Structure 1
């Protein structure tokens, strides 16, 4: 499965790592795995990836750089797939939402988590105790803001970036 993601800055990944250490029994993201999903694209294999990347690059022509703000710490009590709860850093960005919806018009949205149900976030950890997730997410965090000047094509099978595109595209 390939996706288009926003790479997160080191301070966001560090915050996620610090919070994850407070969640015994949860699986935290490994160093380098913290990203912010814009849209899952599908596909498997080199030929499919090449087609998906070309199509996305066409759709990104003219896409400006945009602002993102980490505002809160929260959790999904039930995930559509995988272990629950999902503890995450909540993201605010009107332009990110617009980009997601534009891509969802071309690439079928995954029901319940994309399209109108899209909740932009950076996953901190999955699984563990719901009570601990509640306790950790009750606290306030300092907002973190940055300008997105690059998007990456992510290969979920290998947990790595395949290529990037600079913004404005």
Structure 2
């Protein structure tokens, strides 16, 4: 499965990593593996990738840079996919939402997590104890803001970037 993601700045990744240390029974991401999902693109392997990338790059034509802001820590108590709870950094970004909906017109939205159900976020951890997740989510954090000027094509099987595209396109 391939997706289009926003690489997060080091301050966001560091915050996610720091908070993850307080969720010892949960599955966390390794440093450098935090991203912000824009849209799942599909595909089962390398033979699909070239087609998906070309189609996505075409859809991105005219996409400007946009602002994003981490505003707090929240929880998906019952995630539609994978283990729960999911503790995450909540992200506000009208530009990101617009881009997501534009891509949903090109690539079929995944039920319950895309389209109107899309919640921009950076995952801190999955699974573990609900009480511990709630304690972490109750913390106050300072907002972190950045300009999104690059997008990453992400390979979820290998958990790594495949290529990038600079904004504006």
Provide the rounded CA distance (Å) in 2 between the counterparts of 1:24 and 1:33: 18
- Root mean square deviation of aligned Cα: 0.6
Q: Distance in 2 between matches of 1:83 and 1:117?
A: 18
Q: Number of matched residues?
A: 169
Displacement of 1:32: 1.8
**Does the alignment pair 1:140 with 2:104?**
no
The C-alpha deviation readout for 1:19-60, integer Å capped at 9, x for no partner, is: 000112001111121000000000012221100000000011
Query: What does residue 108 of structure 1 align with?
Result: 108
Cα deviation for residue 139 of structure 1 reads 1.3
TM-score (ref. length: structure 1): 0.98
Counterpart of 1:15 in structure 2 is 15
Matches within 5 A, 1:1-169: 1-169=1-169
1:163 shift after superposition:
0.2
Structure 2: unaligned runs, 5 residues or longer: none
* 1:87 shift after superposition: 0.3
Contact conserved, 2:59 with 2:106, CA < 8 A, in 1?
Answer: no
**Runs of 4+ with deviation above 3 angstroms:** none
Task: Please give the secondary structure, in 2, of the residue aligned with 1:41.
Answer: strand
Q: Normalised by the size of structure 2, how large is the TM-score?
A: 0.98
* Paired residue secondary structure (2:79): coil
- CA deviations 1:70-103 (Å, max 9, x no partner) are 0010010011111110000000000100000010
